[in-house]
Amino acid sequence: MAHILLRQRETPDISNFDVYKKNDGFAAFKNAVTKMSPAAVVEVVKNSGLRGRGGAGFPTGMKWAFIDNKNWPHYVVANADESEPGTFKDREIMEGNPFQFLEGLAIAC
């Protein structure tokens, strides 16, 4: 099984915005906001098996399904605290592919 989250880590200069865009960057965001309902986005995330990167590995789609869409405003918080000694699991994404990180946040919104 391919590692979806880190699939572009070998792409040269993927942290450059133009390179990210040329490699289908923000295509998922565009699809999510132009062709899908919020409920459909949640279903795709549920079916993807995406999990949190913390120790519990909580299913992301399940977490997103808890959102009450009747009461606004909502806020998205990106917890980038690397409190596990020596892991640097989040740093790899935020430094190596920051636009993928931002695209994921935008989809969550």
- pLDDT score for 5: 72
User: Does some domain include residue 43?
Assistant: yes
pLDDT in tens, 23-43: 999 999 999 999 999 999 999
pTM for the structure as a whole: 0.85
Structurally, the chain folds into a number of domains equal to 1
Burial group, residue 25, by CB count within 10 angstroms (0-12, 13-18, 19+) = buried
Range of the domain at 88: 17-108
User: Does some domain include residue 101?
Assistant: yes
Burial group, residue 45, by CB count within 10 angstroms (0-12, 13-18, 19+) = buried
User: Does some domain include residue 61?
Assistant: yes
Nearest to 29 by CA among 83, 107, 108, 90: 107
User: Does some domain include residue 92?
Assistant: yes
User: Does some domain include residue 54?
Assistant: yes
- pLDDT score for 2: 62
Which of the four pLDDT bands, split at 50, 70 and 90, describes residue 88? confident
Better-scored residue on pLDDT, 90 or 15? 15
